[in-house]
Every structure is written in C-alpha cells, then in structure tokens.
Structure 1
C-alpha cells in the first residue's frame, strides 16, 4: 500500500491566519463591522444569478433585519412575476429600482449610493415606524422617487387589512377560541417609557382590573408561539401604540389580537381613523370612556355577559385579516410597482410629508 504525503500550501496558512485575526479584531472592538454590512457581505455572494431577460431588477441596498431572501419569493409567495430581487450592488447601473430602508441610513447619508443615478432608476424610501420615533435626517428631500409606507397617501401603501372571505373559508379561531379563555386582560410590551401615554394609562388601568402583563419589561420574554397562545387565551388585549399624533399609524398591535381571537383595546389614533381600516364593532377604544376606571368597569361587565362579548367577533362571518409578510412582501410590492410604473416620477418634500403634522381633512 502506498502512502500519500499531505501537501500544505503556505497560502492556506496565510488565509487561515488572516481570517482568524480579523475575527479577533471584530470581537475585540478594534474593528467595527456594521450588521447590515455584514449581512450584505455574507448574502450577496449567493445572489449572483443573472437576471432573466425583461425582468425588473430591484436592488435592495439594505436588507431589513439582515435577513436573507429568496430570489423567487415574489412569484412563489405573492404571484408577482418578472421581478429579480438582489443584494448585488454590481447591478446598480442596471437596476430599475433601489430599495432603501430608512432605519439603516447613516446620519450623514454616507452609506447611500454614490454613483450617478441612471435616468430610468427609481429610489424607493421604505419605512414603517411612526414619525415620532424616527430620526429626521437632513438631505433626504429630492433623493427618493417613491414612498413605501403604512400611510394611505404613500405611493406604495402596505399594511395589514380586512379582506372579504370566501364563503367556504373555515374560521379556525371562532367559536373554539372561547373555550380557551382563562385570562381577562393581557399586554405584552418590551419598550417602556414613563413619558408615553400608554404607560400612564396602563398604570392607572391596573388599579381597577387585573392585567396579565408579559414581555421584556416585565421580565418574561415571549417567543412567537407563546405570543399567539397568549392572544388566544385572553379576552381582551391592550393594543396600545407608542404614538398617537400620526393618524395612520396602526400596527400589528391591533391586527394580531384580531387574527388570533382576542378583542383589542386600542390606544393611539382617534377612533374614526381606526374605523377606516377595521369594523367599528371589532375593537374597543379607550377614548370611548371618560377614565381608565370606566373602561375597566366595561371590560368586567363584558366578562360576565358572553352574548355581548361575542358581538365583537361578528365581523369574522364576512372578513378575514391579511397580514403582511415583512420584509419580503415589501420588496416584492416595490418591484411590482416600478415594473408597472414606467413614467417619470419625483418626490421633493419627504421631510415635510412624513414629519410635519397631517391635515386629515375631516
């Protein structure tokens, strides 16, 4: 039997030492690496597929949350054909659109594209936080052509919504959910700020009714399974937003309880704004009551009257909730938009549009 000698090439040794040294620098704090940059480096190498002829190329400049994406997700998940999603910045000159997530933009805008923009290319500003909790950056005006946002007047409006259900669609939640109710009022919260109205309201409400409170602030982190189970077990859920001055800002804090069989108790925008998006008898609004004590009395009354409580689920006979698949659906809808909108488009007042007070027109 012949023996083989192991050949060790010096270049491999140098490569191993180099990689190990850089990892040491990152974890030692001598070298900083932005999370989105890391996500770009590790992901873009897998997304070098050549776009199909006549496909619309959407370059995702920052992938939200650093998640990976499927190049075929638009067609497979959302029936949107002809879209090529990519993180490959080498395709910048050919990209029909560039999707830019606001939360990832540096204060000095230094991490935005620096090459001249092709005449056919649209920059899409994507953001889904409220203006109250968003950095207002100088220099954003005249940069973007398209807005992707929760607001009704955005170029691409995307949010959870009620849709008509098919007659043969089975409701997997109601009425079975009633048998699983062993909690009266629940709230899951991580971000805690004593200055927020929702915190002050909670502190007063809990004096008059028992509230099952979970989340990081209360020392009990909740995973997705526990979150859904909690919503199912609770009769009422505190759908308290962290802002109340930007009217269209209604989030999953309202739609998730509705989806999983709890009645939302809303605090945020005025009731009439909520009623633009959901049936008026599907939720309870804190402003319907003169005080937290009066709200507590109403909830306790509904707890004893099953027939009255059931009325908050009547909407389920005719509607179902379409949730948004973040962030893949956002990218696909953006690509769908620029594929359909070939005309010239400009947007010159992003700061005023998003951060200034809204004239709601009522």
Structure 2
C-alpha cells in the first residue's frame, strides 16, 4: 500500500513538473503558432500584437532573419523576412536585394507612401537590367548601390582601407619588374566573365596584336595559374597577389560602364603596385589616388595607340614611376585626392565586425528614416545608377544589333515601363501572360 502511494505521489510530481516546463516554454514563446508570433534573435518570441516598433520587411530573402528587434542608435526596428507582415500595421518599409529582385513578384498593390521601398544592390548593374531605368528605380525611396548618389554609397566597397592603398606589402621595385620581362609580358589580364556588356575581350584581343599580354583567366587565356589557385575564388589569395604584383601593367576592364561602378579590377592593381590600364566608369578620375594613378583606355584612339604608349612608358623608369606616387611618394603625401580621402574617412561600414557591414548600416539607415518620417521626401532617380546603353569599345558607338543593347538594355527599359504602369494603376499581382501582353503593346518595336 505504501509503495503504491509513493508511486502515485511520484507520478503527480512528474506531471506537475511537466506542466511547469510546458508553461515555461509557452510563456517564452517556444510553443507557438507561426501566424501569431515572431522569433527574436535572443531566443524569445513576441506576439505580433506586442510589436511597438516599426517593422521592416525583407521582401527578397537575403539576411535569413525570421524576426528580430535591431537597435540603430536611439531607434529600434523589427526586421523580418516573413511576408505575412506585408500588410501589417507596423510595417513601414520593404527592402529588396537587387540580384534577387523579380519584377513578377512584387508586393502589390503597393501600400502607398506610408510604406517605403528600399533597394540594396552592390553587384554589377548587368545582373538586373531593369534597374538601369528611371521608370523602375523611381519606385524606391532609398538606395544603397555603387553610386555616390545613393543614400548609402558602396563605391569603395572593394577598397579595404587607405593603408591598403599606400602600403608596400606586395610592392615590387621597377628594376625587378624589368628583369622579369624575360619571363613575363609587360601587361596582365585576369578576367573569367566573358561576353560582357562592355565587350572588353574584343578590345583586349585587338590590343594583343600590338603588345604582349599574359591572360590568366578564362577569357582569352594564354597562361595558366598554379593549380592550387586556379579557381576564381582565390583572387584574394596572397599567392595570386604575388603574381599580379610582378607585372608593370594590369588591364582593369569593368563588365559595364556606369558612373561610380568601380570594382576590384581597379583597386587590386592599385593596392599591389601594378599600374592599372582602366576601362569602365566615366567618373573614375574622381576616385583615383592621384591624377595619373591609372592609364585610361578611353584617352586613346585605338588599342594600337594604347600599346605604343604602354611601350613608351614601360621603357622610361621615371615616367613609369610617376604613376606610382601612392606607393613611392613621401609618406605624408602619397594621395592627393581629398575627395577619396574624405570618402574613406567617413565610411562607417567595413569588413570588420566592429564597424559592421554595409547591410547592417543600410538597414539602420532605413530604420532611422522611417522613424523620422523622411520617406515622403525621397525618391531614387536614374542618377543612382546612370548606366548609358552599352557601346562597342572599338568604335565608341552603340551597335543596335548587339545582344546586350537590343535584348538586355532595351528589353530592361520595356520591362521597367510596364511594371511602372501596373504599379501606378494599383494593379494586383499580374500574371506572366498579362505582363507580356502589356509589354508587347507598350514596346511593339522590340518584338
């Protein structure tokens, strides 16, 4: 009898402990319905009705954040990728990552000016041609792109620091570079994205007729990298840096020509101490360490004229080293470009965890903006990209039969016009058939 009583008492205790544990889990939100609660980064969950700060919804999954409260200075916002918040009263902004943006999948009908749209796109403009056109760009209130006109500019995302620019860790003296000319060409080309809007390979192929060029990438390849660093994922490898640093000149040709679109193609040779031969952003002079830190292909009538100039500079040590002031000049005067120095000094984001990434900073920019109600005053303009139609680099003119011009650039313009019409009309999500019919009507010449 006593044994049965003890077993009964033990059972009651176990049941009570289980109930306490279940209640604890429920109170802390672990036992939840997805449509009622949101998980926060500290491991707890809050009922949707408890949200007292603005919600910012990532429409294109990007950060993996299912729901968290983020502090941005004196402001707080709730960030989430949960689309159930599209029409929630707390939602004040919707964010998009450009490379994942699909114009067939937009939060329509739009909620009006009360909900801002924000665009983050740090990659090449060629990835989303619709973004090249003002009709589509002006749907957004905030941007973070390569353009200095963005609310959070990413123009210098590929330049680690001022110290990288003036440092001599990988620098090779001119005399040693001259000795290496018995084994190496004076010019190096490392590109593996072939067939780009800039048609850079066509220019390089012509240049190769007039001066030796070692091409390590998949495009116009004539020289192999060591097997252990042959992948393009090793472009930040010290062993790769040592190879590029040996060359007197590096072809730094962008895949698209837009104001302020300047990538590692330029910054890598500048930091390594190889003189860049640049083709790309029309505004590149604004960003160079010194006035003649690079040789611009656009300054020459033809690849042949450029080759003659490179041969001339390569033979004149004094003239060659005039392009390397950021490495060889006096320690306190290696960079004369005050605009570049100010931009680097004022950049709050970085690759270190202390400063935070540009993603963190753009999220906080949007958070502060919705708190301060500045969204009604801001509209992204075409100047936030400023990418003209692609041209033939050998002629400087647009070829209307060029695939990048006809199929990509012009089609992007038609898509932008069509999307804008549907948004302005308050159209609910449209079908592919509806979109195609309207686009055919608005751009009959394209078809």
The TM-score bracket by the shorter chain reads 0.5 to 0.7
Residue 360 (structure 2) aligns with: 332
Q: Distance in 1 between matches of 2:242 and 2:78?
A: 35
Residue 243 (structure 1) aligns with: 256
Q: Distance in 1 between matches of 2:382 and 2:285?
A: 27
Q: Distance in 1 between matches of 2:197 and 2:362?
A: 36
Residue 303 (structure 2) aligns with: 292
User: Structure 1's 142 and 274: CA in aligned 2 closer, same or farther, altered over 3 A?
Assistant: closer
Alignment partner of 1:154 is 2:150: yes
Residue 266 (structure 2) aligns with: 254
Cα contact 1:100–1:125 (8 A) shared by 2? yes
User: Structure 1's 179 and 96: CA in aligned 2 closer, same or farther, altered over 3 A?
Assistant: farther
Cα contact 2:149–2:383 (8 A) shared by 1? no
Alignment partner of 1:274 is 2:268: no
Cα contact 1:147–1:155 (8 A) shared by 2? yes
Q: Distance in 1 between matches of 2:267 and 2:231?
A: 21
User: Structure 1's 199 and 113: CA in aligned 2 closer, same or farther, altered over 3 A?
Assistant: same
Q: Distance in 1 between matches of 2:386 and 2:304?
A: 34
Q: Secondary structure at the match of 2:252?
A: strand
Q: Distance in 2 between matches of 1:235 and 1:83?
A: 51
Structure 1 residues without counterparts, runs of 5 or longer:
1-43
Task: Provide Cα deviations, 1:161-217, integer angstroms capped at 9, x if missing partner.
Answer: 889958xx9823375565774442111111222874422210111111111112233
Structure 2 residues without counterparts, runs of 5 or longer:
1-37, 46-50, 225-229, 336-340, 390-447
Q: Distance in 2 between matches of 1:287 and 1:355?
A: 18
Q: Distance in 2 between matches of 1:50 and 1:261?
A: 51
User: Structure 1's 175 and 349: CA in aligned 2 closer, same or farther, altered over 3 A?
Assistant: closer
Q: Secondary structure at the match of 2:193?
A: coil
Displaced runs of 4 or more, over 6 A: 53-57, 79-85, 161-164
Task: Provide Cα deviations, 1:221-271, integer angstroms capped at 9, x if missing partner.
Answer: 432315433332222111112233x3332222112221222211011244x
Alignment partner of 1:345 is 2:345: no
User: Structure 1's 172 and 80: CA in aligned 2 closer, same or farther, altered over 3 A?
Assistant: farther
Residue 4 (structure 1) aligns with: none
User: Structure 1's 60 and 284: CA in aligned 2 closer, same or farther, altered over 3 A?
Assistant: same
Cα contact 2:171–2:273 (8 A) shared by 1? no
Q: Secondary structure at the match of 2:96?
A: strand
Residue 11 (structure 2) aligns with: none
User: Structure 1's 260 and 215: CA in aligned 2 closer, same or farther, altered over 3 A?
Assistant: same
Residue 32 (structure 1) aligns with: none
Q: Secondary structure at the match of 2:286?
A: coil
Q: Secondary structure at the match of 2:312?
A: helix
State the 1:313 CA deviation: 1.6
Q: CA RMSD in A?
A: 4.6
Alignment partner of 1:199 is 2:201: yes
Residue 187 (structure 1) aligns with: 189
Residue 126 (structure 1) aligns with: 120
User: Structure 1's 95 and 289: CA in aligned 2 closer, same or farther, altered over 3 A?
Assistant: same
Task: Provide Cα deviations, 1:288-323, integer angstroms capped at 9, x if missing partner.
Answer: 223222222222233333332222121344348959
User: Structure 1's 195 and 309: CA in aligned 2 closer, same or farther, altered over 3 A?
Assistant: same
Work out the number of aligned pairs and report it: 300
Q: Distance in 1 between matches of 2:248 and 2:362?
A: 37
